[in-house]
């Protein structure tokens, strides 16, 4: 377990929060880096076996989200980290993996006292319709499948903080009276992911489809799904056993594997 003592997160506190689970993780805590996901992807081929590499960073110079978007976070006001998870050959990766990561975040937040957590397909964390965080999963091939799961959660919203194209943004300090320290939040997120990913390895996404659908932000609502090669409108029915979005349209139920879901402009 390696620790960068100059990191914004307190290393001793994080280890204490992890307790007996600390030895399972190789922790790298930094004040700055380019992209936590990109750095762990580059590390994947040579990362030592037996531990889960974790990179947490207060300020990312080139953080990224889905489909090439920038990953927006505010120094001192966001928890942004990535972890490198290995899955044995034959595991059901990547079907539904980002959705399982969403369930892990939702369960962690609920256990910490956050009510109204919603999951917006495929990777947003919302509370009562307002975005609290996001997830980015990227894969590295090899004998074993390695998946870098990046997570960003708003701890607070600094004055003047804006997300282009969105006004519906929230932060943890707006949702509970006493937000957890970021070290405790990170420890609980890692612990929950580890437990759920173990189940995912053996049982696949079907073991989590019900939990995801219970938190579906757009359940039974008219939505529009847009992407590079898709434009659909219909009623959101939830997700299938492999994580595909199910949409009831005028021509029947459609399965959607990629795209952005929005209530805006839906008929």
- Residue of 56, 46, 45, 48 lying closest to 14 (CA atoms): 56
Q: Does the active-site annotation cover 131?
A: yes
Alpha-carbon torsion 146, 88, 193, 51, what sign? negative
Instruction: Give, rounded to a whole angstrom, the gap between the first and last alpha carbons of the chain.
Output: 52
Angle (CA) 126-153-208 rounded to 5° is 55
Residues 111-134 as b/e (b if ≥16 CB within 10 A, e otherwise) read ebebeebbbbbbbbbbbeebbbbb
Query: In this structure, are strands 52-60 and 25-33 parallel, antiparallel, or unpaired?
Result: parallel
Residues 6+ apart with CB under 8 A from 125: 102, 105, 106, 109, 117, 118, 119, 131, 132, 133, 134, 135, 153
226/37 Cα distance (integer angstroms):
25
97: which DSSP letter?
A: H
> Could you tell me if residue 208 is left (phi over 0), alpha (psi between -120 and 50 degrees) or otherwise beta?
alpha
The residue annotated as part of the active site, out of 59, 66, 130, 184, is 66
The residue annotated as part of the active site, out of 86, 120, 131, 191, is 131
Tokens of 130: 């307002």
Tokens of 28: 């790298």
The catalytic residue positions are 66, 131, 264
């Amino acid at each position: 377990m390696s620790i960068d003592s100059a990191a914004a997160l307190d290393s001793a506190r994080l280890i204490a929060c992890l307790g007996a689970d600390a030895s399972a993780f190789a922790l790298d805590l930094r004040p700055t880096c380019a992209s936590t996901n990109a750095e762990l992807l580059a590390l994947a081929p040579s990362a030592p076996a037996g531990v889960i590499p974790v990179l947490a960073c207060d300020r990312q110079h080139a953080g990224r989200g889905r489909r090439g978007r920038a990953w927006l976070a505010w120094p001192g006001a966001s928890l942004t980290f990535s972890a490198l998870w290995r899955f044995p050959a034959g595991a059901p990766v990547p079907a539904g993996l980002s959705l399982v990561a969403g369930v892990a975040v939702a369960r962690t937040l609920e256990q910490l006292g956050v009510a109204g957590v919603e999951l917006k397909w495929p990777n947003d964390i919302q509370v009562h319709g307002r975005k609290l965080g996001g997830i980015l999963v990227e894969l590295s091939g090899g004998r074993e499948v390695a998946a870098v799961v990046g997570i960003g959660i708003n701890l607070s919203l600094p004055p003047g903080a804006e997300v282009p194209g969105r006004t519906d943004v929230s932060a943890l300090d707006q949702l509970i009276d006493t937000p957890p320290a970021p070290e405790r939040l990170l420890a609980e997120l890692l612990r929950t992911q580890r437990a759920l990913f173990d189940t995912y390895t053996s049982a696949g996404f079907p073991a989590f489809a019900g939990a995801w659908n219970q938190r579906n932000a757009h359940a039974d609502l008219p939505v529009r799904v847009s992407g590079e090669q898709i434009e659909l409108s219909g009623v959101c029915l939830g997700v299938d056993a492999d994580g595909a979005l199910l949409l009831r349209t005028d021509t029947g139920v459609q399965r959607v594997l990629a795209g952005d879901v929005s209530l805006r402009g839906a008929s």
